[in-house]
Amino acid sequence: MMNLAVIGTGYVGLVSGVCLASKGHKVTCFDINEINIGKLDQGICHIYEDGLEDLLASSKKNINFRLLTDKNEKKLLDFDAIIVAVGTPTINGNSDLSQIKSVAHMMGRLIKSSQKYISIIIKSTVLPGTTDTFFKNIVEAESGKRVGEFGLGMNPEFLREGNAIEDFQYPDRIVFGFEDKKTLEILRLIYEPWDCEKIEVNTRSAEMLKYVNNALLATLISTINEYSNIARSIENIDFKKVMRGVHLDNRWSPIDDCGQKVFPKVIDYLKPGCGYGGSCFPKDVLAISALAKEIGSSSNILSAVIEVNNRQPEVMMEILNKASDDIKNKRVLMLGLAFKPDTDDVRESVSLKLLKLLSGKVDNLVAHDPIAIDNAILELGQLDDVHFSTEWKNKIEDSDIIIICTNWNEYSELAAMKDLLKGKIVFDTRSLLSGIDVSDFQYLTVN
Ligand code: NAD
């Protein structure tokens, strides 16, 4: 059992903290946001993730989970390892390391006054070279000590919001990036209860692995969106059947030992849609692309991935305008604000981009989401003509166009509401209702 601190209690830090505690480690979660720490202390999660509050409650009951703010930062020296899970957004397309930098200064200050060996493990997504140069240099300069006197590691996180606890508890692999052998030993001990392949590399390889993983998935999404856009311009192409034929290639969908065709999860990234959003893909693709340019390496594919994705909300508008001759007189109902289902996260959500494009151009604009309305209002700022609603079924009748932008499971109930949909346009940007009888209304997809 290890004594661990996790710095940053956002989607990654909080989930990591409670999951590590659930395996028997003593975990203290640390954040500069005193309001959120106060809520957590009362058992209330400031973010939505299925099962998180229950796990928080049981961790607190087992007294192996504690909370800390920067008022007591000196207590961070009591731990075997510090896991850093602060945010790494992009500003103007470049990675913003201000949160990482302030943690590096704090750790340097603390280590200076201590004789104890402590390992600092970066879990935030940071560009290759950040841990072993940027972070290390600050800690060494501030503390007057060298790596070896303190430990340094990099343990990228692959959890997906909406499925975060399961992803953390049953990962596909765990990556141990390390700059010193003691930190590697600590990483092995932390993750001893996890039974999956563990990849041991230096910190910059661990950092690169995370970016290649995300950028490759984003590349698949933009590639298929581009092919679908080309097909739509050629006209009279059944792109859904085209993609069915592609998916059946046994290099995408092999036949298993029982002779059954298997459609792996990657097929979901090979379907056209409204583009990728969220807290990771957009910023990670931008950041690795900016790094490539800075070091003089080519990044043509990454630039194209970004360009196609940036344009995709406008492509959605083009599809809508083509189908509706008189959009300025239409009442629009937007279903979904979160960037994906089962989360309240709206960062880089395509729904919000579409709302901005629709604002001022239609007669009435109503937006629904089961849990992300508050975050959407914060993110969107003032859009006078967007009305938010916590109900959606009773808004159908008074709408001319219904746009499904987040594939929340509850929206699939539209399939059973055919009578209400008569004469309306349903724009299913996520192909949620595939197979539905669309004889009474106009059904649009990105296919
Ligand atoms: P987040 O913005 O939800 O949370 C960051 C937290 O760090 C906030 O609570 C903030 O108050 C805290 N913080 C900032 N500066 C601090 C400091 N100096 N000391 C203590 N706390 C501080 O971020 P997130 O979505 O959890 O992402 C964290 C990192 O994990 C990012 O690098 C992200 O790219 C990566 N990641 C995110 C996901 C995801 O799905 N969200 C998945 C994998 C990896």
Assess whether pLDDT exceeds 90 at residue 62: no
**Considering only 255-259, 291-295, 379-383, which range has the smallest mean pLDDT?**
379-383
**What is the percent of the chain with per-residue pLDDT over 90, rounded to a whole number?**
92
178 CA distance to ligand 1 centroid (A)?
21
How many Å apart are CA 72 and CA 65, to the nearest integer?
16
Residue owning the nearest CA to atom 1 of ligand 1: 10
54 CA distance to ligand 1 centroid (A)?
21
51 CA distance to ligand 1 centroid (A)?
19
Assess whether pLDDT exceeds 90 at residue 266: yes
Residue owning the nearest CA to atom 28 of ligand 1: 87
Rounded to an integer, the average pLDDT of 398-415 is 96
What number does the ligand 1 atom closest to the CA of 161 have? 40
What number does the ligand 1 atom closest to the CA of 103 have? 18
- pLDDT the model gives residue 288: 97
Q: One-letter amino acid identity for 210?
A: K
Tens of pLDDT, residues 98-117: 999 999 999 999 999 999 99
What number does the ligand 1 atom closest to the CA of 86 have? 7
- pLDDT the model gives residue 383: 78
- Partnered with residue 338 across adjacent β-strands are none
- pLDDT the model gives residue 395: 97
Give the binding-site residues of ligand 1, using a 6 Å CB cut-off.
7-13, 30-33, 85-88, 99, 102-103, 124-125, 157, 159, 161, 279-280
Active site members: 280
Residue owning the nearest CA to atom 44 of ligand 1: 157
- pLDDT the model gives residue 325: 84
How many Å apart are CA 322 and CA 315, to the nearest integer?
11
Which residues are CB-contacts of 1 (< 8 A; sequence separation ≥ 6)? 24, 25, 26
Residue owning the nearest CA to atom 22 of ligand 1: 8
Assess whether pLDDT exceeds 90 at residue 61: no
Tens of pLDDT, residues 218-253: 999 999 999 999 999 999 999 999 999 999 999 999
Identify which has the larger pLDDT, 109 or 447.
109
What number does the ligand 1 atom closest to the CA of 102 have? 18
CA angle 129, 7, 70 (to 5 degrees): 125
How many Å apart are CA 177 and CA 287, to the nearest integer?
20
